[in-house]
Structure 1
């Protein structure tokens, strides 16, 4: 199934979704939410001002979330009636339940702890792989401090880097400093 034409070109939350004759259910929910976000009175239902403001904010949040996903993800959340339901559904789908999330954290922590630089691997490639692990842990709510990440990198560098590692660890600026991001592209093994 191809993506709807307006999804392929990009979307805007300021323009109504365009129906191209395909994916009606996808368009229908998006159009309904767009209309409600624009003006809840468009459905000719009487609410007091406080209700209308809450409803409009809810639909704006829902619309922005729906515009941020494609048709496959949309099919997963199309029955959700609020932005919170959509968010929770996507979160559970992609992060899993609390138990699944904890298992992912355990697996990633183990990968981090056992991480080694491979023979013939460049510093850049090694750091990219390590960053992928630490970024995923961060997104799951288990950040690893930059200090620990730098120490990890310094510990796993090959013997040929021994003098550089020694110089870095002995440098005055290194002790207690905010490490920021090293530029691992500059030198390769």
Structure 2
């Protein structure tokens, strides 16, 4: 689909498993197409004796509603299309889909409890990089948001600082003393931690495979020489013990 701005839009498709994400994407598309208000509130039908101005407003509202309904038809799979096929307005179709997925509210509540438990127990592992751990935190945060729980920025910052491994203790203390945690953004925190992580790697370089191989190589000649020396000594000893005594 091509937008009014002339670029191509990839439309999301509701397939029954992605309703929360689909709904958020559709709200953005409706807003971009300037039809979100008519989807939420509908439009008023013309009464008898309508003025010319009222007819003009009605005509524009009807046009926006047709555009929104067309978008909804394009953004659902076959099963969901059958649910809204009889809707005459975009609001009717939108409300129908919302009611169809109301049962997901109970599922979302149970899922949110599980996600909160995972979030509370989450700790940084020794094998995690800062970027990997931040991704875990943000992924859980986004899943909780989709279930209706929005975590504040301060809560995320405090969670990260509280659950880092001990090698970050001194940088955590420095951040807590020098930064206002009420205003600190999660992106700023990640940048500070990654800078510290980089300095740690520079100060503690690991042994390369070439160094280990070289160490093994330098030991071999000594072992082989010792083995040959032992064999030579044993052969000499056998020769001496095998000689007959002179009379």
Please state which band the TM-score falls in when normalised by the shorter chain.
0.5 to 0.7
Offset from partner CA, 1:34-59 (integer Å, 9 cap, x none): xxx9xxxxxxxxx9636544432222
Output the TM-score relative to the length of structure 2: 0.48
Distance 1:152 1:133 in 2: 12
Greater share of residues in helix: 2
- Structure 2 gap ranges (5+): 7-34, 36-44, 47-54, 201-247
2:97 to 83, 86, 89: 89
Report the Cα offset of residue 63 of structure 1: 2.4
Higher RCO, 1 or 2 (CA under 8 Å, sep at least 6)? 1
Aligned to 1:177: 183
Equivalent pair of 2:108/2:147 in contact (CA under 8 Å): yes
Equivalent pair of 2:134/2:190 in contact (CA under 8 Å): yes
Alignment of 1:128-139 (within 5 A): 128-139=135-146
Report the Cα offset of residue 167 of structure 1: 0.6
Aligned to 1:74: 77
How many correspondences in the alignment? 143
> Could you list the runs of 4 or more consecutive aligned residues of structure 1 that deviate by over 6 angstroms after TM superposition?
none
Pair 1:87–1:123, CA change in 2 (3 A): farther
Output the TM-score relative to the length of structure 1: 0.61
Distance 1:74 1:90 in 2: 15
